[in-house]
Chains A and B, each alone.
Chain A
């Protein structure tokens, strides 16, 4: 594959907010002393009067966002996934989710690719937490193009949205001139008949690479990008289950409660097929370079290929 330009989706997030700030005058951005890291500092520089730094107080930040939204403003509350979804979970649930307020949560530094900061900051549980909240939309973009599109889609969506962004630069494989993003609609990237690889976030590109390698070995793998984990595109997932009879999910998240679980929920009701989950296997991460950690934890195309082959052999 040709070398693709890489960019961290957190950068896409900050740039998209700054771009969209002109178009949407009721867009406000909140931070908890991490504007530099979440890249919302880009928005702050352009719209200082519409950026509110709440200090290191994520619980209060979510409440401030809730209050702002009741007056018609559209706040993006930004922090690391660990603190946005983890520390502030109950405020998100009760002050934002329960009244179904129009608050957007931009959670950066999700997953193990946080790298050197280690387990305390590697949130592999945020998708699980957020998707349990009724009415919460949960989006995990795969690259720069999708991340930008997701930010605008979240603005246009009436209701709470959680968007997950990464720290690590990842290949931009979508074509921004043609890409269409719709909340709740999965994207089938390749057709295939032997197995379906359903991936989200930075694992989507790994799935594409895995499918190419599998093709060389005569295995026809369908690749589906699920950027919206909730509401899940059940139709696309069930269709894949029916047509390929085997699903491998891939996510930079715990195997408990994330994409894999959402896919299992869908297929077990409508078309039970074997689902093998690739993710963080109910363990904490540790410090190290992100690329090395992804390999170590099996969040790479090589592991997808091996997992698919093993599952096919057992089929």
Chain B
């Protein structure tokens, strides 16, 4: 990846992480761990990959994004705000009464949200429907979706996986965020969905793996995805839950817990330091 672009994306991703912490802290609830693990991928998609139009969010030719792991809405909201869909300051209203920023993505009220999600396993089906629609009408937009690794324990995901392969939805790229943790513990202990790559391959998908926190790896994966024809693509990303905030990393307890004032200060100070370092070099 171009070094300048990489630096810009790293800076943006750091701001996206700050927005996640800001939102969850002000909401006094929400899901920071899985939001932080997808921050880099979302930043890449919205700042380097997808055709999106913040001033005209529903433009028919836009690329679509579905956050199938809808509980990590703080990440989606932060990336949308940083991309200009709505003010960054609005992130502080997350989950507040009267706010647009609902606990889970709400397509009816939040600019840039292409599908309402939150109940796991459902977003991927809607993404398949959008991709199928493009095929039926010879539209050229692409559809991206992010699923959790715990989420793929839902049976509907595999109904959708079968459907996407059967219908040769090569305009669909699904990312599985393999941070290894779900609410009740390690995914390998709760009800293991492993081997994830083999399962998708067996369902007829083109499988790519990537490091979720390395923009070179991310770019390579999404570029490869574009070369695939007649098959849907899944990118299984190895990620760190809580990435970027030291005390949240790889801690299942940060799946759905908001930081208190002290923890908020620590998290923000770590992220500010990361940002300063990136901007200094």
Contacts and interface: CB of A to CB of B under 8 A. Distances in A.
B136 A66 contact: no
A204 interface: no
Interface residues of B, number: 35
Taking each of B108, B114, B115, B116, which has the highest tally of chain A beta carbons within 10 Å of its own beta carbon? B116
A52 B132 contact: yes
A33 to B, nearest CB: 12
Nearest to B64: A70
A63 B116 contact: no
B156 A59 contact: yes
Given A55-B163, A57-B163, A60-B159, A71 B126 contact: no
A165 interface: no
B125 interface: yes
A230 to B, nearest CB: 20
A62 B125 contact: yes
B119 interface: yes
Contact of B132 (A67, A72, A91): A67
A193 interface: no
B76 interface: no
B129 A99 contact: no
Given A55-B162, A57-B163, A64-B163, A71 B134 contact: yes
Contacts of A276: none
A28 interface: yes
A59 B119 CA distance: 12
A73 to B, nearest CB: 6
A91 B125 CA distance: 10
B60 A71 contact: yes
B52 to A, nearest CB: 15
A229 to B, nearest CB: 25
Interface string B96-116: 000000000011100000111
A91 B115 contact: no
A99 B108 CA distance: 6
B125 A59 contact: yes
Nearest to A65: B129
Nearest to B115: A70
Interface string A69-87: 1111101000000000000
Contact of B115 (A54, A62, A67, A72): A67
A26 B139 CA distance: 14
Contacts of A52: 132, 167
| Chain A facing B: main interface SS | helix
A24 interface: no
Nearest to B58: A70
Nearest to B105: A99
Interface string B50-75: 00000000001000100000000000
B125 A66 contact: yes
A91 B129 contact: no
A99 B104 CA distance: 12
Contact of B118 (A55, A69, A73, A94): A94
B116 A98 contact: yes
Contacts of B60: 71-72
B133 A71 contact: yes
Contacts of B128: 60, 63-64, 67
Contacts of B35: none
Interface string A24-45: 0000100000000000000000
B115 A59 contact: no
Contact of B133 (A59, A60, A67, A91): A67
A59 B120 CA distance: 12
B116 A99 contact: yes
The 3 A-B pairs with the shortest beta carbon distances in the complex, nearest first, are A67-B129, A63-B125, A60-B159
12 contacts: A52-B167, A59-B122, A60-B163, A63-B156, A67-B125, A67-B126, A67-B127, A70-B115, A71-B130, A71-B137, A94-B122, A95-B126
